[in-house]
């Protein structure tokens, strides 16, 4: 565990398989494929999440730059907020690692699932789901071109909440369809009234994901007062 060779197994992934898994992850209704190759790799978690982090930063910065260029004063240069990049790294890597880790720990040591979740696979599931967030990074830039925040700020805000809400729903549904059946199976194996535990676990995951989506909206969407030098 304290040698680099130990971690190599989690990143030894064929590129063709990687793109196949991305393609499958685009369908939020798809269930977990138990026969898929490299079920415990973390390559997707690292690279897809890293790509999303970069795109979120570029999208938020780009939308503000476009708004400044289209509707701001040319004599007032825009000040780049690189703290937003740090926030993006902390938020996306944090959420997609901490939540699966807590889910694994709770179901393994507290609920004591007979067929416990795999920590690496749960992290991988969350990582590949991030591909479904990527389209809104483009939408975030496009809507600024067509909607003037100075004149139609309310409309812009509603549009942003809508697209983030839809993306949050889709990504949450994707995680649920892959993890829900495993959680339900284990809960029912523990007791005949296991459905109560199932709904509690799923409910907690849903609330946490909702909170995550709200933080994403507040952090990366919305034209605020421009920062001037």
Dump pLDDT digits (tens) for 151-204: 777 888 899 999 999 999 999 999 999 999 999 999 999 887 678 999 999 999
Among all chains, which residue has been given the structure tokens 């997707």? 44
Shortest CA distance to 44 belongs to which of 121, 127, 122? 127
Full pLDDT tens readout for the chain, 229 residues: 556 667 777 888 888 889 989 999 999 999 887 777 677 789 999 999 999 999 999 999 988 888 888 776 666 777 778 899 999 999 999 999 999 999 999 999 999 999 999 999 999 999 999 999 999 999 998 888 887 776 777 888 899 999 999 999 999 999 999 999 999 999 999 887 678 999 999 999 999 999 999 999 999 997 654 443 3
Shortest CA distance to 127 belongs to which of 27, 226, 47? 47
117 and 132 in contact (C-beta within 8 Å)? no
Among all chains, which residue has been given the structure tokens 């730059």? 65
- Give the model's pLDDT for residue 32: 86
Tens digits of residue pLDDT in 108-118: 999 999 999 99
Q: Which backbone phi and psi does 76 adopt, to 5 degrees?
A: -115, 95
For the entire predicted model, the pTM comes to 0.89
- Give the model's pLDDT for residue 73: 67
């Amino acid at each position: 565990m304290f040698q680099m060779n130990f971690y190599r197994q989690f990143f030894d992934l064929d590129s063709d398989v990687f793109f196949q898994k991305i393609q499958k992850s685009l369908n939020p209704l798809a269930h977990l494929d138990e026969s898929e190759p490299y079920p415990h790799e973390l390559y997707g978690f690292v690279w897809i999440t890293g790509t999303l982090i970069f795109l979120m930063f570029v999208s938020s910065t780009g939308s503000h730059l476009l708004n400044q260029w289209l509707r701001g004063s040319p004599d007032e240069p825009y000040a780049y907020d690189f703290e937003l990049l740090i926030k993006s790294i902390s938020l996306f890597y944090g959420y997609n690692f901490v939540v699966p880790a807590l889910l694994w720990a709770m179901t393994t040591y507290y609920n004591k699932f007979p067929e416990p979740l795999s920590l690496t696979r749960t992290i991988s599931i969350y990582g590949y789901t991030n591909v479904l967030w990527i389209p809104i990074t483009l939408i975030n830039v496009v809507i600024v071109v067509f909607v003037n925040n100075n004149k139609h700020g309310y409309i812009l805000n509603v549009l942003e909440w809508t697209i983030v809400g839809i993306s949050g729903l889709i990504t949450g549904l994707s995680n649920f369809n892959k993890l829900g059946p495993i959680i339900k199976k284990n809960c029912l194996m523990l007791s005949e009234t296991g459905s109560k535990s199932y709904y509690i676990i799923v409910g907690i995951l849903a609330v946490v994901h909702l909170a995550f989506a709200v933080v994403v909206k507040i952090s990366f969407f919305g034209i605020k007062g421009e920062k001037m030098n």
